[in-house]
Amino acid sequence: MASPSRFADLIIRQGTVITPGGPVLADVVCSDGLIVALDSRGWQAKDTMEAQGLHVLPGVIDSQVHFREPGLTHKETLEAGTRGALLGGVTAVFEMPNTHPLTLWQDDLQDKLDRAAGRAWCDYAFYMGGAAANATHLADLETLPGCAGIKVFMGSSFGDLLVDEDDVLRRILSHGHRRVAIHAEDEARLMERRALVEASADVRDHPRWRDEESALLATRKILRLAEEAGRRLHLLHVSTAAEMALLARHKRSVSVEVTPHHLTLTAPECYERLGSLAQMNPPVRDRHHQAALWQAVRDGVVDVLGSDHAPHTLEEKARPYPNSPSGMTGVQTLLPMMLDHVNAGRLSLMRLVDLTSAGPARLFGLPGRGRIAVGQSAALTLVDMNARRRIENRWIASVSGWTPYDGVTVQGWPVATVLRGQLVMRDDDVIGPPLGSPVRFDETRR
Ligand code: DOR
């Protein structure tokens, strides 16, 4: 006698499912927000999606975005930023603290959580800024629900968050346990060299001003201070060959992020073509550095990809360099650009999934996320590896309304996003209402 059917919320049929053991042709059965089976025999569902010809990936996690709320909502909002995330196949984001006000205290974090509730389309957590004012409170602040960890800017970039004194860095590193996320550029050297770009007013000099040595000095220093404090680090948007060589020797205590921008754009071509639209910190550099970043991706030195989605309006970007602000949008294009790199043979799809799902889940301690397996959260990203699509500004959800990849054709496209077992994006449309909620971290996270 056949056993009676069980009821699920969603069955995704016959996609190529990227499991920890490799790709398998399977059905993904989702019920009560979880993956409950990888075989749909004996199941019926409210909703079914045919996924023949598609790849089903664990939901993409973008561990570095700036969504500008509160204070800078003319550039971006939590609503638009998270909508862009879903359209780009991203199911969770970690948002940065250089907003107005800065995210330094429990009230600032709570304000962001309140703003996100009911408006965020994907899941979210917020970084707390590490600063002189809150350094001795960070052990408590970093474990608050909804906190992704502590972020320190060693060089000034955008906003008022800056820690350029060794004493303060030491205090930050000695209060708390989780990995500290670092923007490593040496402030003293940046100040010393600023005159160079004041004089030239040429955006092609951006990587000469904020040169390899500026990044290396800061990275070397923070490695030394963290070693003294016995603290682990997460080095954000690493951009130079020398840093990668150094970081490869410190992998026991340091994790490494690269951005799709640094893997895709190259100097000087990007500045000639895009002007200050290509301006970000640390800068996009030449082929020599880019080749080292790719090598580090292939060697496994890189743990995660973060988009460093950092929107500014086109009017702001049009100010004469160096008064134009640094930063580009990226949350929505992270996956299309990287799928195109997969299709071009620069990395495998399995490696990409490790960088965008399993890697962040492992590093930041996200129980139930980052891989497709029975019992895991049903956060999924469905992609068509054969689709050829032109990226256009009008597809971009960001309030700022632009991408450096406007007009670029890619092969590989996110066609659906699933959050807690619900289809929340399909064929370039989000499906409401917004279901985003705070990311839960492992209580024993370190
Ligand atoms: O280019 C950048 N823009 N780099 C950063 O570190 C900050 C970001 C921003 O917030 O605009």
98 lines ligand 1 (CB under 6 A): yes
- Whether residues 194 and 69 fall in one domain: yes
Q: 190 CB less than 6 Å from ligand 1? A: no
Instruction: Report how many domains make up the chain.
Output: 2
Q: Could you tell me if 166 and 33 lie in one domain?
A: no
Å from CA of 384 to ligand 1 middle: 31
The alpha carbon of 215 and the centre of ligand 1 are apart by a number of angstroms equal to: 15
The count of other CB atoms within 10 Å of the CB of residue 313 is: 17
Q: What angle do CA 308, 254, 238 make, to 5 degrees?
A: 35
Ligand 1 centroid from CA 257, angstroms: 15
Say if ligand 1 is within 6 A of residue 280 CB: yes
Ligand 1 centroid to residue 206 C-alpha, Å: 14
Burial of 250 per CB tally in 10 Å (0-12, 13-18, 19+): middle
Q: Are residues 121 and 176 in the same domain?
A: yes
Same domain, 32 and 136: no
| Residue 344 CB neighbour total at 10 angstroms | 11
Instruction: State residue 22's pLDDT score.
Output: 96
Marked catalytic residue, from 123, 211, 303, 308: 308
- Kindly state if the Cβ of 66 falls inside 6 Å of ligand 1: yes
Q: Is the pLDDT of residue 58 over 90?
A: yes
Q: Could you tell me if residue 1 is inside a domain? A: no
DSSP character string of 116-131:
HTTT-SSEEEEEEEP-
Same domain, 176 and 304: yes
Residues 294 and 157 in one domain: yes
167-186 residue pLDDT tens: 999 999 999 999 999 999 99
Nearest to 337 by CA among 89, 67, 120: 89
The last residue of one of the domains, among 364, 381, 408, is 364
Assigned domain for 445 exists? no
User: How far apart are the two ends of the chain, measured CA to CA in Å?
Assistant: 51
Give pLDDT, residue 445. Answer: 58
What is the average pLDDT across 371-393?
98
The Cα–Cα gap between 61 and 177 comes to 22
Q: State the Cα–Cα distance between residues 249 and 301, nearest whole angstrom.
A: 9
Give the nearest ligand 1 atom to 159 CA.
10
User: Stretch 392-411: mean pLDDT, rounded?
Assistant: 98
Alpha carbon distance 62, 65 (integer Å): 7
Atom of ligand 1 nearest to the CA of 183: 6
Write the CB contacts of 327 (distance below 8 Å, at least 6 apart in sequence). 66, 158, 279, 280, 281, 308, 310, 311, 312
Reply yes or no on whether the pLDDT at 2 is more than 70: no
Residue type, 364: F
**What's the rounded mean pLDDT across residues 207-213?**
98
351-376 tens-digit pLDDT? 999 999 999 999 999 999 999 999 99
Residue 32 a catalytic site member: no
Examine the domain organization and report whether 46 and 121 are in the same domain: no
C-beta 341 within 6 A of ligand 1: no
Band of pLDDT at residue 40, cut at 50, 70 and 90 = very high
The residue length of the chain stands at 446
Q: Is residue 292 within 8 Å of residue 258, measured between CB atoms? A: no
Q: What predicted TM-score, i.e. pTM, was given to this entire model? A: 0.97
Q: Give the position, in ligand 1's atom list, of the atom nearest the Cα of 279.
A: 1
Residue 5 in this model has a pLDDT that exceeds 90: no
Nearest Cα to Cα of residue 231 among 169, 286, 278: 169
Do residues 74 and 37 both lie within one domain?
no
Query: Cα(388) to centroid of ligand 1, in Å?
Result: 30
By DSSP bridging, strand 6-19 and strand 55-58 are parallel
Mean pLDDT of the chain: 97
Q: pLDDT (tens digit, 9 = 90+) per residue, 221-266? A: 999 999 999 999 999 999 999 999 999 999 999 999 999 999 999 9
| pLDDT band for position 443 (cuts 50, 70, 90) | confident
Confidence label for 422 from pLDDT (cuts 50, 70 and 90): very high
Looking at the structure, tell me whether residues 85 and 155 fall in a common domain: yes
Rounded to whole angstroms, the Cα distance separating 115 from 440 reads: 18
Distance of CA 287 to the CA centre of its chain: 23
Do 320 and 194 reside in the same domain of the chain?
yes
Is the preceding peptide bond at 322 cis, omega within 30 degrees of 0?
A: yes
What is the average per-residue pLDDT within 275-287? 98
Which pLDDT band holds residue 341 (cuts at 50, 70, 90)?
Answer: very high
**The pLDDT of residue 1:** 52
| Cα–Cα distance measured from residue 36 to residue 55, given in angstroms and rounded to the nearest whole number | 19
Confidence of residue 157 (pLDDT cuts 50, 70, 90): confident
Assigned domain for 446 exists = no
Domain enclosing residue 273, as ranges: 60-364
Average pLDDT over residues 103-112: 98
Q: Answer yes or no: is pLDDT of 336 > 90.
A: yes
Query: Would 378 be classed as within a structural domain?
Result: yes
Please state, in angstroms and rounded to a whole number, the distance separating the CA atoms of residues 222 and 360. 21
- CATH code: domain of residue 91: 3.20.20.140
* Percent of the chain residues past pLDDT 70, beyond the cut: 98
What is the average pLDDT across 104-108? 98
CB-CB contact of 356 with 305 (8 Å): yes
End residue of a domain, out of 364, 381, 406: 364
Last residue in a domain, options 338, 364, 390: 364
Residues 156 and 273 in one domain: yes
| Whether 140 and 163 share a structural domain | yes
